Amino acid sequence: MTNIIDELKWRGAVNQVSDEENLSKLLDEKSVGVYCGTDPTGDSLHVGHLIPFMMLKRFQLAGHRAFILIGGGTGSIGDPSGRSTERTLQTMEQVHHNEEALTSQMKKLFGEDNITIVNNYDWLSKISLLDFLRDYGKLFNINTMLNKEVVASRLEVGISFTEFTYQILQAVDFHHLLLENDVQLQIGGADQWGNITAGIDLIHKMEGSDTQAFALTIPLMLKADGTKFGKSAGGAVWLDPEKTTPYEFYQFWLNQDDRDVVKYLKYFTFLGKEEIEELAKKVKTEPEKREAQRRLAEEVTEFVHGKEAVHQAEHISKALFSGEVKDLTADEIEQGFKNMPTVTVNKEPENIVEWLVESGIEKSKRQAREDVTNGAIYINGDRIKDLEFMIDPSKQFDGKFVIARRGKKRYFLGRVID
């Protein structure tokens, strides 16, 4: 069996690792407890958050015990990592709502085998101020804390005592999980190195310097053009289908640059080395086929949303490309036309020329008649050349939509109002 550290290195997924020799040896000897955490700062993860959790999934599939920590406690004070200003504190009600949403997402991604989801609110909320200062604060050296990159980068603009203590709380988490669940490895993004190693230092001070505890971080992911990965034209790409539809999610991966796609296949899919290397060859020899991008979109969409979402996204893509939209369901239209020009239309049947002008698709009746006569207008996938044609919204798509197309690719979504 391939050593998982070697595999992660091949995938370009290792930034820093503490005591690699002993960690590799431990991972070969037994099933190790591995954890990755996220704070409930929102009610959904986005694809940028997914990176370390994909690594955790690899440990899970390799037979190790995966732990996901939802930071109900740490999330209530805010991690200074990757920020130049203080976070706005959320209400505890909002934190708890986000905890529930993220827990549900994680269960969907990881299933039930070799996975445990914990919430650090359960133990951090029970530590009194005096116990915190006596039992933990005494073990942290201010000079060492100031030198951590996450704090040092904030000293010029200032950092509150609240955010300054964040690394202590994360260290307490690692110590707690070691004692309660035999968790010996924490993984996270590159910006978490200081927080994770603070946990290892705490463990060595409290449990002895020979206690085995390890850190592994994932590189910061940048696109080939140097910009940050994970954003689309509409903003963040969310895992929540209500925020980013499965079709939009699929399209995000399908539209990746040739220069990035092989890297993303290594990071975000569970395809083997042989298949990825074959796809990498096709990127060079047949880039126009975009086979690597299609495989990437299929794999990640299935992992996050399931097989049916992949079929649906492919069906929408094919329909929009070919113009054969009449077989789409109302749900597929909702997804595929989300970012297209939308107009509101009445549910009563109406003459096509009148309808085109009233909906704002055409500027004048003269232009509308000309476009219809010339065959430039399509309604629900059918070319209409009859000036007397009546548009009846009740005929298709559950009476919710009318799809108009002018020319080859100019789509408009008519959303029916009562």
pLDDT of 1 reads 45
Which residues 6+ apart lie within 8 Å of 59 measured at CB?
4, 32, 34, 66, 185, 187
pLDDT of 306 reads 92
Q: Per-residue pLDDT for 59 more than 80? A: yes
Which residues sit in the known binding site for L-tyrosine? 35, 166, 170
| Structure token digits, residue 308 | 């049916």
The whole-number average pLDDT for the span 234-252 is 87
Would you tell me which CATH number, out of the four given (3.40.50.970, 2.60.40.2220, 3.10.290.10, 3.10.580.10), belongs to the domain 342-417?
3.10.290.10
Fold of 4-218: Rossmann fold (3.40.50)
Which residues 6+ apart lie within 8 Å of 405 measured at CB?
323, 325, 377, 378, 379, 381, 411, 412
Report the top-level CATH class of 231-322.
mainly alpha
Map out the domains of the chain as residue ranges.
4-218, 231-322, 342-417
C-alpha angle 68/71/73, rounded to 5°?
A: 145
- Single pTM value for the model: 0.84
pLDDT of 73 reads 85
Mean pLDDT estimate for the chain: 88
> What are the tens digits of pLDDT across the range 372-389?
998 889 888 888 898 889
Beta-strand relationship, 401-406 and 377-379: antiparallel
Which residues sit in the known binding site? 35, 166, 170, 231
Report the 10 Å Cβ neighbour count for 381.
Answer: 16
Least confident of 229-238, 276-285, 403-412: 229-238
Which residues sit in the known binding site for ATP? 231
> What are the tens digits of pLDDT across the range 293-310?
999 999 999 999 999 999
> What are the tens digits of pLDDT across the range 4-32?
898 999 998 999 999 899 999 999 889 99
